[in-house]
Structure 1
Amino acid sequence: MSPVHWLFGDQLGPHFTSTAAGGTPEDTRWLLIESKAVLRRRRFHRAKAHLVLSAMRHRAAELGDQAIYVRAETYREGLARATGTDPVSVHHPTSRAALALLASLPQVTVHPARGFLVGHREFADWAARQSGRRLLQENLYEHTRRSHGILMDADGPAGGRWNLDHDNREPPPRGRATLGAPAPYRPGEDEIDEEVRRDLDRWEREDGISFVGRDGPRLFPASRREALAALDHFITHRLAGFGAHEDAMLAGDPVMGHSLLSSSLNLGLLDPWECVSRAEEAWRAGHVPLNSAEGFIRQVCGWREYVWHLYWHFGEDYRHRNALHHTASVPDWFAELDADAVEANCLSTVLAQVRDTGWTHHIPRLMVLGSHALQRGWDPAAVTDWFHRCFVDGYDWVMLPNVVGMSQYADGGVATTKPYTSGGAYIHRMSDFCGGCSYRPTERVGDRACPYTVGYWSFLDRHRSRWESNPRMSRAVGGLGRLGDLAQVIQAHHDAGDSPP
């Protein structure tokens, strides 16, 4: 009897089928299960549901007769229909819920995780060597580059510095609506996408499954072939211009120089090693500057690896951390991606990007969406769930450390040393959003007071006692004493409540 190996919907690349437990890839049957229960439990972005289902069905088509494709209400039901109680192998899944499910299934053998550069045991050994110090991203990044020989010159980092982030914080070029980078790779749809869209329409109509956001045309790779084409296009045409403006935002250019490869990495269509090695090869060949290559490599083998391991290292309790005691509900206009209800140009623009595509790059996520949620005091667990559901590259392991740790500071400084929020001045400096907006970034009171400026100072005052002892925040807190209109600012923030800015 041929061995059966289960491929979850984010384990779709060849590195998950290159070797098979109990057999060779050639004689293994590959099981993929569509579970409607996943879509019933949460209101996912429609484009995300489309992408995942399209990717799974494309993978099944690639595997041909070796694929066992089951459409079921639950994973448990699908597994029983496909294999009964026969043994099944699977690689370590990417969520705690999936791992708990596998632990309850006696016929399933779980093998080590794939799709990451640093294994669980290697990370545990590294963490133990930190001798009680904070587990810093920059230290894991250095370890990963050393242990894998990534962007190294002899025993040191290429160019003499591990991190070139200082070179990658340029504001957008003034007077231009776009960065001017070559257009990103976009795939074409096929008959599988047509089938997925018909199924989603029917489930909405007949099965009570609902979504947020808009679907179509599909903008992100759903097959290995498309993912490789996207990687090659980025390295060849876009990586050179990525670095300097990595943190910049333009209303007319939501993609800027970014790779758009996160969804392909998180579906397992690409392996991180091939991404970082291609970027390094491009730099060594003289095709891209070092700051662009290093900035991209740091995203893949620095922050992505760090977030993955924090998710498992800190345990389930991390999900419930709420150091700032924020409990306000996420308002309906935000939950429904109702960008048209928002007057503030930055938030309306970014919310519309999420509504229309299920994606925006890391700075709008952090400094527009996340910052607003933090200033308003929304429940970090609800904010995490929103990011998980509404982004095509969002998974539990991705969003939990990113939102609880970095965006909402709900872990009290485990992942970051300061909260990532700002007044309107930062958004004005790093974007063109403020031009034509009803609000003014420098104004704190009155009809034209910027919601982010009002929110920032109110947030600092609300948690003043915490920030006074934070070396990276004490100077900002000191500025509160120089605001003669602070009481008006706080009242304006209070009056805003849950209404869209």
Structure 2
Amino acid sequence: MTDWHWLFGDQLGPHFLAPGTGGPARDSQVVMIEARSVFRRRRFHRAKAHLVLSAMRHRAAELGDRVRYIRAETYREGLYEAVGDASVTVHHPTSRAALGLVRSLEQVRLLPARGFLVPQEAFSAWADERGAGRLRQEDFYRWVRHALGLLMDGDSPAGGRWNHDHANRERPPRGASTLGAPEPYRPDEDDIDAEVRAELDRWEKQDGIRFVGRDGPRLFPATRTEARAALRRFVEHRLAGFGPHEDAMLAADPVMSHSLLSSSLNLGLLDPWEAVAAAEEAWRAGRAPVNSVEGFVRQVAGWREYVWQLYWYFGEDYRHRNALGHHAPLPEWFLELDADAVSARCLTTVLAQVRDTGWTHHIPRLMLLGSHALQRGWDPRLVTDWFHRCFVDGYDWVMLPNVTGMSQYADGGRMTTKPYTSGGAYIHRMSDLCEGCAYRPGDRAGDRACPFTTGYWSFAHRHRDLLAANQRTARAVQGLDRLGNLEEVLATDRRWDEEAP
């Protein structure tokens, strides 16, 4: 009797086929399914659709006769076409919708999740012991490092500190248009990429499936070999310079020293352990400073792992949270990634990056795109869906906590201790994006008032009571009370409800 194992499109690394405890049967046959319904339900970024399909088809080519690769309208139809009523195993999917589907199929046996560092049961025990109001990322991060012996010297953190943020928040180099970091790894396209691009063209012309953004050339790994090359390139040539400027932004250098590994991790092409272990080995060998290594380890073992765990721990109800009562729709220019409709240099620059590549690093996501959405009072469910669709590394489990909790504060503080937003002064300090802009970061009112500055004070006014009660944001309300022209500021800010900034 044939043993069948189902691989979802984000379970593409060899660790998803490794037998052993909680794994599929040794030498099981593999089922992979392209479901067009996934692309009908959401208007994904074209580069994201290309990357996912390219990665799946490359993996199928690697597996050869071992795989039965089906293209169908739905997963349910594809599975039946592949194996009929035969029994199938599958590792825990990464979305609630996929998990619900798997559980509805009697023939499917669910295996534990892979591709993460901590079993869900271990996190639940840790979280239950602490209580729902005390699930802070810093505490979780330290617990993970202790439990895994990651970047540790005995019982103490490597370098004598758990957190090296003090060394990792430098402004961009004065007068520099780029950080000058070595170039990141970029893959070469092949015949599979050409086939995928032609098929996406047919879907748009014949099947009514629509995308947003631009596609090509492919910038991110679609195979295990490419992903490992990208990891090596980052660790050997870029990791050392990563930490100091990881929170900075430069218009002409969107990549800076960032790893660009998130899509490979989230497709399952890399296991997070190999990424953090490679970074730690670079520090121990003296090839990278501890602050840069700790910053990268925090992103993978701290933040990525934390977001994954909270997605499941908080439950389905979490996606409906809207503690600030924000219900405004997303404007057309934002939905269409229409960077040319925007005058604010910071927004047009970052929106163009997303339009052209499906990626920008974490600070533009949080402090430009997310902050603007928060200030404008856009519906957090719509904002979460936009991030999910428009980023090559965006999945439901990634964006639901990141956007609903971190970016939009829609959970009222279950995940973070304050809303993350700022005026133009922060953007001016941490980037070169204010240079040559139509607006001035210090202007609160008038034709040249910065939309982030007016937005900041409007947000503080709208949520005065909430911010005043939080010791981390009370100063914003005190500043609000000192403004001599609040009504003029609010009137200036209202213009952005009608037009692109």
Normalised-by-shorter TM-score class: over 0.9
TM-superposed CA distance for 1:129, in Å, is 2.2
1:47-196 correspondence to structure 2 within 5 Å: 47-131=47-131, 133-196=133-196
Partners of 2:204 and 2:127 in 1: how far apart?
A: 46
Kept in 2, the 8 Å contact 1:343–1:500? The answer is: yes
> Could you say which residue in structure 1 is the equivalent of 2:474?
474
Partners of 1:459 and 1:166 in 2: how far apart?
A: 28
Q: Does 1:332 align with 2:340?
A: no
Partners of 1:61 and 1:427 in 2: how far apart?
A: 46
Give deviations 1:189-213, integer Å, cap 9, x for gaps.
Answer: 0000000001000000100000000
TM-superposed CA distance for 1:419, in Å, is 0.6
Partners of 1:453 and 1:69 in 2: how far apart?
A: 52
Q: Secondary structure at the match of 1:30?
A: strand
> Could you say which residue in structure 2 is the equivalent of 1:491?
491
Partners of 1:156 and 1:131 in 2: how far apart?
A: 26
Taking a change above 3 Å as real, the CA distance of residues 465 and 79 of structure 1, as seen in their structure-2 partners, is same
Q: Secondary structure at the match of 2:90?
A: strand
Partners of 1:22 and 1:469 in 2: how far apart?
A: 49
Tell me the TM-score normalised to structure 1 length.
0.99
> Could you say which residue in structure 2 is the equivalent of 1:404?
404
Kept in 2, the 8 Å contact 1:333–1:341? The answer is: yes
TM-superposed CA distance for 1:128, in Å, is 2.1
The amino acid of 1:17's aligned partner reads L
Q: Does 1:226 align with 2:226?
A: yes
Give deviations 1:73-118, integer Å, cap 9, x for gaps.
Answer: 0000000100111100000000000000011100000000000001
> Could you say which residue in structure 2 is the equivalent of 1:206?
206
Partners of 1:319 and 1:168 in 2: how far apart?
A: 32
Give deviations 1:395-416, integer Å, cap 9, x for gaps.
Answer: 0000000000000000001110
Q: Does 1:46 align with 2:46?
A: yes
Q: Secondary structure at the match of 1:325?
A: coil
Runs of 5+ consecutive residues of structure 2 not aligned to the other structure? none
1:279-298 correspondence to structure 2 within 5 Å: 279-298=279-298
Taking a change above 3 Å as real, the CA distance of residues 436 and 142 of structure 1, as seen in their structure-2 partners, is same
Q: Secondary structure at the match of 2:134?
A: coil
More displaced stretch, 256-265 vs 14-23: 14-23
CA RMSD between the two structures: 1.0
Partners of 1:294 and 1:237 in 2: how far apart?
A: 16
More displaced stretch, 490-499 vs 191-200: 490-499
Partners of 2:469 and 2:458 in 1: how far apart?
A: 18
The amino acid of 1:217's aligned partner reads P
Taking a change above 3 Å as real, the CA distance of residues 142 and 23 of structure 1, as seen in their structure-2 partners, is closer
Partners of 1:123 and 1:23 in 2: how far apart?
A: 24
TM-superposed CA distance for 1:22, in Å, is 8.3
Partners of 1:210 and 1:129 in 2: how far apart?
A: 46
Kept in 2, the 8 Å contact 1:331–1:498? The answer is: no
Partners of 2:7 and 2:68 in 1: how far apart?
A: 10
TM-superposed CA distance for 1:18, in Å, is 1.2
> Could you say which residue in structure 1 is the equivalent of 2:272?
272
Percentage identity across paired residues of the two chains = 71
Kept in 2, the 8 Å contact 1:3–1:22? The answer is: no
The amino acid of 1:361's aligned partner reads H
> Could you say which residue in structure 1 is the equivalent of 2:35?
35
Runs of 5+ consecutive residues of structure 1 not aligned to the other structure? none
Kept in 2, the 8 Å contact 1:85–1:107? The answer is: yes
Kept in 1, the 8 Å contact 2:311–2:401? The answer is: yes
TM-superposed CA distance for 1:346, in Å, is 0.1
Q: Secondary structure at the match of 1:77?
A: helix
Kept in 2, the 8 Å contact 1:467–1:477? The answer is: yes
> Could you say which residue in structure 2 is the equivalent of 1:415?
415
> Could you say which residue in structure 2 is the equivalent of 1:456?
456
Taking a change above 3 Å as real, the CA distance of residues 129 and 22 of structure 1, as seen in their structure-2 partners, is closer
Partners of 2:121 and 2:325 in 1: how far apart?
A: 34
The amino acid of 1:178's aligned partner reads T
The amino acid of 2:393's aligned partner reads D
Kept in 2, the 8 Å contact 1:246–1:257? The answer is: yes
Partners of 1:388 and 1:131 in 2: how far apart?
A: 29
The amino acid of 2:410's aligned partner reads A
Kept in 2, the 8 Å contact 1:2–1:23? The answer is: no
Q: Secondary structure at the match of 1:343?
A: coil
> Could you say which residue in structure 1 is the equivalent of 2:435?
435
The amino acid of 2:272's aligned partner reads P
> Could you say which residue in structure 2 is the equivalent of 1:263?
263
TM-superposed CA distance for 1:494, in Å, is 1.7
Partners of 1:155 and 1:375 in 2: how far apart?
A: 43
The amino acid of 1:438's aligned partner reads A
Partners of 2:261 and 2:91 in 1: how far apart?
A: 22
Question: Runs of 4+ in structure 1 displaced over 3 angstroms?
Answer: 20-25
Q: Secondary structure at the match of 1:129?
A: helix
TM-superposed CA distance for 1:124, in Å, is 1.1
Q: How many residues align?
A: 500
Partners of 2:40 and 2:23 in 1: how far apart?
A: 35
The amino acid of 2:446's aligned partner reads G
TM-superposed CA distance for 1:23, in Å, is 6.2
TM-superposed CA distance for 1:133, in Å, is 4.4
Kept in 1, the 8 Å contact 2:133–2:414? The answer is: no
The amino acid of 1:173's aligned partner reads P
Q: Does 1:356 align with 2:364?
A: no
Kept in 2, the 8 Å contact 1:238–1:259? The answer is: yes
The amino acid of 1:41's aligned partner reads R
TM-superposed CA distance for 1:274, in Å, is 0.2
The amino acid of 2:134's aligned partner reads R
The amino acid of 2:175's aligned partner reads G
Taking a change above 3 Å as real, the CA distance of residues 17 and 498 of structure 1, as seen in their structure-2 partners, is farther
Kept in 1, the 8 Å contact 2:17–2:23? The answer is: no
Q: Secondary structure at the match of 2:174?
A: coil
Partners of 2:202 and 2:18 in 1: how far apart?
A: 36
Give deviations 1:242-293, integer Å, cap 9, x for gaps.
Answer: 0000000000000011000000000000000000000000000000000000
